[in-house]
Amino acid sequence: MTHEELEEAVPLYAIGALERSERQAIEAHLLSGCAACHAALKDYQTVASLLPFGLTPATPPNTLKAKIMMAPVPIPGAAEAEQAAPRSSLEPGEWMNHLFPPITPARSLPFRLAMGLAAAVMVLGGGYFAWLSYTQTTERASEIRQLEAAVQQETARVASIQSELQQREQTIATLKTGMEQRTTEIADLRDQLLQREAELDDAHTQLTKNDSSLQRLARQSEEFVGLFKNPASKVVPLVGSELAKSAGAFLLFDPATEKAWLYAYNLPALPSGKVYQLWAIDDKPVSVSVFGLDAGLKARRYIKNLTEFSRMKKFAVTVEPDGGLPEPTGALYLIGQN
């Protein structure tokens, strides 16, 4: 037998429920000095010794006493002869009796009555202590379950708080990245505006040397420079859509004069019979102006009267038929937000 099988047989050995071969095997194992099995046997023997006290006392039949009194008395000589017979070794199961000799019960009636009374007291006391131990165990088990439930609730709450904190950290990181991108875009737009101002200064010098049409453009450029230099002017940048990713524009607006200037660049060349149309969007799109492109695929448009600019939430540029339409129908090329 393996050690595990011997260890499982210890409880049966303690109550004398093993076969002879199994009993011999476990006794040999115990005599070999296994400390774990010795400790287990001691515990199980303690429990086994308490089992009789859990039984319900029964009244013996009236004839039992007469049978006991009429039983033959053992012959002393036979007992001494039996004791004198040499024995080679202890029988299986008797080494425990050798270590702990059984107590010979007294034959006197008062002693038996006293022993019966003591057994009854022990049974009652054992039952009381068993009930008390069961009650305390039940109360402690209930307290442990309550504590475990409270710990689980706190663990779930901590996990929820940690998840919420992680989500907030991710949101903050996303917002921070977006702000950095917007700051970079604004800086690039400012550089572009400065470059456009230099270009407009050069254009102004050239326009003053040409005919009246060029002079008109020069006046528009002056209007643009005035709008650009006016600290009260507002700037709305427009970025290219998927159809024109490299395109861009900006809209300058003077709230005092309600004049605006549109400058667009890198827009695709227009097909024949088509124009670009600028829309201001509040609840619905409103046409602001139509414009075309010059040889450099750029557009400059001076807008004299752009009312209710502050109410407009977005601005967009689409391709529409020549002359424009009251509502947008063509593809979207530029979009910006006020």
CATH class label, 1-62+89-102 = mainly alpha
Report CA dihedral (128, 130, 131, 132) to the nearest 10 degrees.
Answer: 80
Query: Residue 116: its pLDDT value, please?
Result: 66
- Assign domain 231-337 to its CATH architecture: Sandwich (2.60)
**What is the three-class DSSP state of 221?**
helix
CA distances from 49 to 17, 31, 42, 129, 311 (A): 15, 22, 11, 15, 96
pTM score > 0.75 for this model? no
Q: Which residues of the chain have pLDDT under 50?
A: 79-108
Measure the CA–CA gap between 171 and 228, rounded to whole angstroms: 37
User: What DSSP state is assigned to residue 181?
Assistant: H
For 71, the token pair is 């039983």
- pLDDT for 244 equals 92
Which residues of 194-258 form beta strands (DSSP E)? Answer: 234-240, 248-254
SS3 205: helix
- 1-62+89-102 and 231-337 in the same fold: no
Model pLDDT for residues 235-264, shown as the tens digit of each residue? 899 999 999 999 999 888 888 888 888 889
What residue ranges in the chain does DSSP mark as E strands? 234-240, 248-254, 259-265, 274-281, 285-291, 298-303, 314-321, 332-337
Q: Are 297 and 265 in contact (CB under 8 A)?
A: yes
Region label for 76, one of left (φ > 0), alpha (ψ between -120 and 50) or beta (otherwise): alpha
Place of tokens 């402690």: 140
Parse the chain into domains and list their residue ranges.
1-62+89-102, 105-183, 231-337
pLDDT at 318: 96
Q: What is the CA radius of gyration of the chain?
A: 54
3 state DSSP class of 4: helix
